Structures are given as C-alpha cells and as structure tokens.
Amino acid sequence: MTVRGDYLGMTLSIDDLDGENLAYFRHCADHNFHLQRCDECKLLRYPPTTACPWCASPKATWTPVEGKGEVHSYVEVHHAIQPAFKGHTPYLMLLVDLDTQKGQPTPDEALRVAANLTTPDGTLAPADMVKRVGIGTRVRMVFSDVTDGMALPQWTIDETAKQPDKPWRYAQE
Amino acid sequence: MPLPADTDATTPKYLRDKYAIVGVGETAYMRGSGMTTRALGTWALRNAIADAGIKPSDIDGMLDYSGNDSTSATFMAGDLGIRLNFYMDCIGGGSSTEALIGIAIGIMEAGLCKCVAIYRAMNGYSQVRIGGTGARSAVPVNGDALHSRAYGWQSAGQMFAPTFMRHMYDYGTKPEQVAMVKVVHSEHASNNPKAYYKKRYTVDDVISSRFICKPLHLLDCCVETDNATAIIVTRAEHARDLRQHPVLIRGIVGRCNKPRMDMHYQHGPISRVAGYYAKDILWPNSGVGPEDVDATGAYDAFTFTSMLQLEDYGFCKKGEGGDYVSNGTTRLGGKRPNNTSGGHLCEGYTHGMNMVIENVRQLRHEADDSCPIGPDGRRQHTYDYREGGCRQVRNIEVTANLGWANPMTGSAMVMRRG
C-alpha cells in the first residue's frame, strides 16, 4: 500500500511497488534502524537497493544495525531551497560513517547515512546546536515521525560518547 | 572472445584528429530572454551554421540534452528546414557536451549520418531555475529521493557541498584559495563582451558574500542565465574546405563515474571526483598529457568544481588544487589559463557547452574580445590582458575541457588546432 505523509509541510511518499523503501521506512517508523544484509557476501548496504552493490545478489535480509557513528562531512545550509526548510536555517545535513562496517570492504568505504542534525526528539536542531557539530562529532540516531509506516532517521549529538576536543568546522562562522 | 574486463576501451588511435568542430554559435547570455527554448535553440543553431559557412541542409544529425527544460531537436530541425538522418534528445546537464560529441563521432563513424549539430537551449533563469529555486523546489518527495530531498539536500550546491567540505578537511584547502577561481574567471569575463557579469571581483568580495550553503558563498556559485549554445561536428577532411580554421578532436571520455552511482558518498575518498577515473581514458585517448595542454575549460558550476577537476585530471598533485588555482597558473598570461570566457561563474550558464565554444575560438586564434579587427578581417590580438582588453591565449595549440555533472560523473575532451 502506498505510504504518504506530511513532514514540515512537504508531501513524502513511497509507492506500493517500492518494496525496499517501504521496508526501510517501516523499520524507522518503529524507531528500529534496519539495513539490508546480503545473504551471499554478508555485507550491509545503504541506502536500500534491489541487488547487492558488491556481489549483485538479489537476496538480502533486513538486519538491525546500531545507529551510532561519526560525522564524515556535512553541508550547513543558510539559504534554503525547499519551502519546507525556509524557516529552519541554518540547518545541517550530515554524512555519518556508521561504526558498523566502517572501512569495509575497502578502507575508504563506510555505510554513510545522510540525515539532518536534530534534537533528541527529531526536531531540526537550533542554531546554537548546529555550531557545536563538525567532522568528527559523535552522533546517535533518532527519528522524526511522519506517518504510519514512515519515520525519517536523523542524527543527534551522542551526549554519552567521548567527543573530539574540537570537531572540524568550516573556517568562517 | 575477450571478457569485458580485458577489452581495450580506449579510442583507436586512427580516430584521433579525424573529427573536427567546424561551427560554434550562441545566443546572448541573458536574464529574461522573452522567448521560448525553441527560439533560443534555433537562433544558436543558425549562428553555428553561419559560423561554419555551411547550409542548414548540410546537417543530417542532431543531438541535444536537457533536464526536461528544453525543446526537442524535431522542432529545431523543422524550424531550420533540416531533414535529419539521426537525432536524439538526451537527459542530462553538465558533462553532456563532451559526451554527446563522443556520440556524434560514434554515429558518424558507424555511417548513420555525416554532420552533427549539438545544442543546449534553456531558460535557466526565467523558466526552470538552475539553482533549484522556483516550482521544482516544492515538488513532493517520493521513493529513493526520501534519502536526500527529505533532508533539505536537493540543489546542486547542497548535494556537492560534502565533497567540497571534506576536501578542505583532508587537504587544508582554504576559502581564500578557492575564491581565486571566481577572481580569475571574473578577470577573464571582463575581457569578454558577451559575458553576463563583466565585473572583476576580489577574494574579499567572494568570502564576504553571504553564505548559500557552507562552504559555498554566493560568489562561489555560478550565474543563472537564459541562453542557447550550439556546435557542429563533422569529419576533419570536410572541415578543411569550410570557413573556419579546423579544430580537431583528439580524444574524449564521456560521463565516466565513481563507484556506487546510487549514492556515490558510500565510496570514499569522497574528496575525489570522477576525473580520477576519467583521466585514465582521456589522456591515452588523446595521446597527450596535462603538461601538453595550453588552456583548460574546467567546469565552474562552483569555484570548487574547477579546482577538484584540475586536480583529479592530474594538472597538479591531489590535494594541491588550492595552490594551483591561486598561484597564477590559471590566469590569462599564466602557464595554463582556465575558462578564458569567464565560464559559468561569469559568462553564463549553459551546462558546459560555452566552455567548449570558448576553446574552439581560442584554438582558431579568434577569441571574440575587444581587440581591433585588422584589414584582413582578423582580430589583431594585443595579448594585453588588462580589464577590457585581450583574452586570446598566445600560440595556443591544445586545450582540455573537463565537464562536470556532479562529484560522481564527468566528461572531458582534448582538442587541438588543425
């Protein structure tokens, strides 16, 4: 069944034929992050795909994955393009290396999960929180609920983790 | 039969210099063209046909590219009274120009047609805005796009920024170095009467302009314009009989990619761009290397895109792009000028084709600057590159165009003076 919801005034939808995305976001709706693990080569993958990017096997099993990692890069948006984000600048879009499977199958690969910086309840982070985060910041996954069968995974600062003395941020504030 | 991995994919050497760009043309670079993309494309094609000194009916192949924001070749051909033996409307933006020139060579070599016109016609300011604002910014988000657009990660600047940011982290690249790309291209544009922005900018102008999305300031981003551009490709032996000095195509790589094309950031280093892979096709195909190139046309959708491509195609060591673009090399009068028209940052935005047109004119030694035209009808270049002056590169023989679609995808082409 098609899943359709409203998030920040944007319509988000997943078609009824889109099995991979339906499964991915249904697990997120349960606040229980899952990725596909290839039944052949056993590697996890992100984002959802039809076949394994490493061995092309079509067979995979949805597997719970710990939502913890480190910021690999980011963009800090000051001039929003989409109307939904106009009232939320500056906002951060983070590329986060999951601890799980980092450096596999080759040293520069990682499960790099894209999401915004939010507060623990999944609300886009305020400006003072945005300024605390950069490359190297330790983050944990939280969720923004959208509708039945859909929540967006998000990142928030992992307050229990050891943080770098000073995460790397772009030179100009 | 050899396995695909054992197949030599490089161009046969006999194709080097066998095809030529014989005509180039464009409309003005405008904001508010007041006409359709059909009209823009038709005028650009007509100008390219006139430039080549051929008749419309000499053209029998047509290729174009768009993001569903243009008009099909069927209308352009109809407007110009051309009966086509081959045409194809392709989807794509930056990196399409060089790739379609490669396709043009392929279809002519296969005998499908004999003279191909390629165009890009767009109202990138007044209709479908290339910066991503306007009607397209508010469309519903479905399926695979949920992993990006639902996070306000949508426009070109937003999508590319993690590559730019990580390059600064990995190599210590400084905002002041990258800003020099805009500074240099604006100097070039000040000597280009066609350029939309002819003003010269300073490093301070760039880094004190407002942030769009870090690390991009407003002046790190290209201009949005309405315009069309066109080029005509045919066999070199035919080119010698035509109006312009022939410009020969040495070698091409088309839409070459990084791994993980579904989301390229999965495969690092993310500060690496497609040129890392494309260079291994471009240079062997062309039979030249970066040191042989007199001028480059490295796609400048953003200041960073020029720098990253120059680096990954081997014009400097990886990580030293910041120095390369700020040490005078890329300036007119420097060792290897880049984007002598002012490029997308200043001249106008046409998804790469205007940078090919510029290099064609450079290789003809006919850059259309403000230098006086002599009694022989040819421009008398002064090689004085001060504001409002010359922009012809002295004794230029070989150019390289480095086309960019995104960090993952690139095309490139080497041309030489015939």
> Which among B152, B169, B268 has CB closest to A135?
B169
Closest CA to B24 of B357, B350, B249: B357
Min Cα separation B125/chain A (Å) = 15
What is the distance between the alpha carbons of residues B199 and B191, in angstroms, rounded to a whole number? Answer: 10
Residues of A in contact with B406 (CB under 8 A): none
3-state secondary structure of B360: helix
Q: What is the pLDDT of residue B10?
A: 65
Mean pLDDT of B5-22: 78
A48 is a domain residue: yes
Min Cα separation A81/chain B (Å) = 6
- Boundaries of every domain in chain B: 17-128+225-239
Instruction: Tell which of A3, A36, A82 to mutate to test the B interface (max B CBs under 10 Å).
Output: A82
Q: What is the pLDDT of residue B6?
A: 56
pLDDT at B62 over 50: yes
Mean pLDDT of A37-65: 98
Mean pLDDT of B266-283: 97
Mean pLDDT of B212-225: 98
Segment A64-123, tens digit of pLDDT: 999 999 999 999 999 999 999 999 999 999 999 999 999 999 999 999 999 999 999 999
How many structural domains does chain A have?
1
Q: What is the pLDDT of residue B58?
A: 98
Segment A153-169, tens digit of pLDDT: 999 999 999 999 999 99
Q: Which two tokens stand for residue B141?
A: 């988000």
Q: Give the global pTM.
A: 0.96
Judge: A170–B143 Cβ closer than 8 Å, yes or no: no
Segment B336-359, tens digit of pLDDT: 999 999 999 999 999 999 999 999
Q: What is the pLDDT of residue B14?
A: 78
Judge: A172–B267 Cβ closer than 8 Å, yes or no: no
Helix pair angle (B275-286, B303-312), 10° resolution: 60
Active site residues of B: 299, 349
Judge: A12–B162 Cβ closer than 8 Å, yes or no: no
> Which among B132, B207, B263 has CB closest to A81?
B132
pLDDT at A17 over 90: yes
Min Cα separation A160/chain B (Å) = 25
* Residue percentage of chain B with pLDDT more than 90: 93
Mean pLDDT of B167-186: 98
A105 is a domain residue: yes
pLDDT at B150 over 90: yes
A165 is a domain residue: no
What is the distance between the alpha carbons of residues A35 and B324, in angstroms, rounded to a whole number? Answer: 42
Judge: A83–B138 Cβ closer than 8 Å, yes or no: yes
Please state which CATH class domain B17-128+225-239 belongs to: alpha beta
Residue type, B396: I
Residue B248 — pLDDT band, cuts 50, 70, 90?
Answer: very high
Q: What is the pLDDT of residue B306?
A: 98
* Residue percentage of chain B with pLDDT more than 70: 97
Mean pLDDT of B357-375: 96
Q: Which two tokens stand for residue B5?
A: 């991995």
Q: What is the pLDDT of residue B4?
A: 52
Segment A25-47, tens digit of pLDDT: 999 999 999 999 999 999 999 99
The residue range of the domain holding A51 is: 3-157
Residues of A in contact with B146 (CB under 8 A): 12, 14, 21, 25, 152
Residues of A in contact with B268 (CB under 8 A): 108-110
The pair phi, psi for residue B238, each rounded to 5°, is -75, -35
Q: What is the pLDDT of residue B1?
A: 46
Chain A / chain B CB contacts < 8 angstroms: 143
Judge: A114–B151 Cβ closer than 8 Å, yes or no: yes
Measuring CA to CA, how many Å separate B249 from each of B21, B273, B353?
7, 24, 15
Segment B67-95, tens digit of pLDDT: 999 999 999 999 999 999 999 999 999 99
Q: What is the pLDDT of residue B9?
A: 58
pLDDT at B5 over 80: no
Residues of A in contact with B158 (CB under 8 A): 75, 77, 81, 93
pLDDT at B7 over 80: no
pLDDT at B233 over 60: yes
Task: Give the per-residue SS3 of chain A.
Answer: CCEEEEECCEEEEECCCCHHHHHHHHHHHCCCCEEEEECCCCCEECCCCCCCCCCCCCCEEEEECCCEEEEEEEEEECCCCCHHHHHHCCEEEEEEEECCCCCCCCCCECCEEEEEEECCCCCECCHHHHCCCCECCEEEEEEEEEECCEEEEEEEECCCCCCCCCCECCCCC
Q: What is the pLDDT of residue B17?
A: 94
Search chain B and give the residue with CA nearest A49.
Answer: B262
Mean pLDDT of chain B: 95
